[in-house]
Amino acid sequence: MESPFDAFIRLYSQEQYDEALRELVTVEKTHCLPPNILVIKAACIQLGSGDGPYALEDATSAFKRALEIDPEYVEALNESGYYWLYVLDRREVARPCFEKAMGIARSQLTEAIVGIAECIAETSACEALEFIEQAVKDTVDREAIDKAISEVRKWL
């Protein structure tokens, strides 16, 4: 069965942002938007032509509403962080978003690593220890971190 949000998501994935927003206007009349849809709505507002049915302030409202519904939604925290940083030029608002996202993600990742290690330890403690050591090494996207380091060094 098709979700009422499927057409909106399809248009968004096809980079038809204004059309996606027009579709969402209709859906919003009868459905509450979940956090993931609110984040996509904010992205469409930012990426659209500006001639759509929403103004830039509606992106702010969408992010705030997503985080009211789920204050620990990492994607909303990260995306709103970039919105505050690059669209509104408010790094003092952006940084706490990223810091909270990082704390939540770290906690979730730690839980997953420990859980997997406990599963492995049921049959091999040595393999569990090897897994933990490798998982800790692999917890970040090294290529993305290296790129960020390179960009920051340009500012020195």
For position 101, what pLDDT does the model report? 97
* Type of residue numbered 154: K
Tokens found for residue 17: 């942002």
For position 142, what pLDDT does the model report? 84
For position 4, what pLDDT does the model report? 81
Residue matched to tokens 């409202």: 61
The larger pLDDT score, comparing residue 120 to residue 140, is at 120
**Cβ atoms within 10 Å, residue 5:** 18
For position 1, what pLDDT does the model report? 63
End-to-end CA distance of the chain: 54
Dump pLDDT digits (tens) for 20-53.
999 999 899 999 999 999 999 999 999 999 887 8
Tokens found for residue 58: 């509606």
pTM of the model: 0.86
For position 131, what pLDDT does the model report? 95
Dump pLDDT digits (tens) for 65-92.
999 999 999 999 999 999 999 999 999 9
Question: How many angstroms separate the CA atoms of 79 and 96, rounded?
Answer: 12
Angle in degrees, CA 39, 42, 10, rounded to 5: 70
For position 3, what pLDDT does the model report? 83
Instruction: Give the three-class secondary structure for 1.
Output: coil
